[in-house]
Amino acid sequence: MMKDLQLQPKRAASRLFSKLTTLLTAAALTLTPMGAHAQQGGAPRLLRDAEIEQLLRDYTRPILRAAGLEKQNIQVVIINNASFNAFVADGRRIFVNHGALMQSQTPNQLIGVLAHETGHLAGGHLSKLRERMAQAQTQMVVAMLLGLGAMAAGARGGNSNGAAGNIGAAAVAAPQAMMMNTMLSYQRQQEENADRAGVKFLNQTGQSSKGMYETFQRFGADSLFAARGSDPYMMSHPMPRERVAALEELAKSSPYWDKKDDPALILRHELMRAKTAGFMEQRDTVLRRYPPSDTSLPAQYARAIATYRHGDLRVAVEQIDALIKAQPNNPYFYELRGQALLEGGKPNEAIAPLRRAVQLSNNAPLIEMMLGQALVASDNKAYTDEAIRILRAAIARESEAPAGYMQLAMAYGRKGELAEADLASAQAAFLRGDNKTARDLASRAKARFAVGTPGWVKADDIIAAKMPGKN
pLDDT, tens digit, 9 for 90 and up, residues 101-149: 999 999 999 999 999 999 988 876 455 545 545 554 545 454 555 555 5
Q: How far is it, in rounded angstroms, from Cα 40 to Cα 396? A: 24
Check if the beta carbon of residue 334 is closer than 8 Å to that of residue 370. Answer: no
252 compared with 27, residue with greater pLDDT: 252
Which residues are registered as beta bridge partners of 94?
76, 88
Residue 169's pLDDT band (boundaries 50, 70, 90)?
low
Q: What percent of the chain has pLDDT over 70?
A: 71
What's the confidence (pLDDT) of residue 219? 76
* pLDDT tens string 49-67: 999 999 999 999 999 999 9
Q: Label residue 233 exposed, middle or buried (CB < 10 Å: 0-12, 13-18, 19+).
A: buried
Asked whether residue 317 carries a pLDDT value surpassing 80, the answer given is yes
Q: How many CB atoms lie within 10 A of CB 452?
A: 8
Query: Looking at residues 68-72, what average pLDDT do you find?
Result: 91
pTM across the whole model:
0.77
Q: What average pLDDT does the segment 14-22 reach?
A: 40
Say if residue 334's pLDDT is above 70.
yes
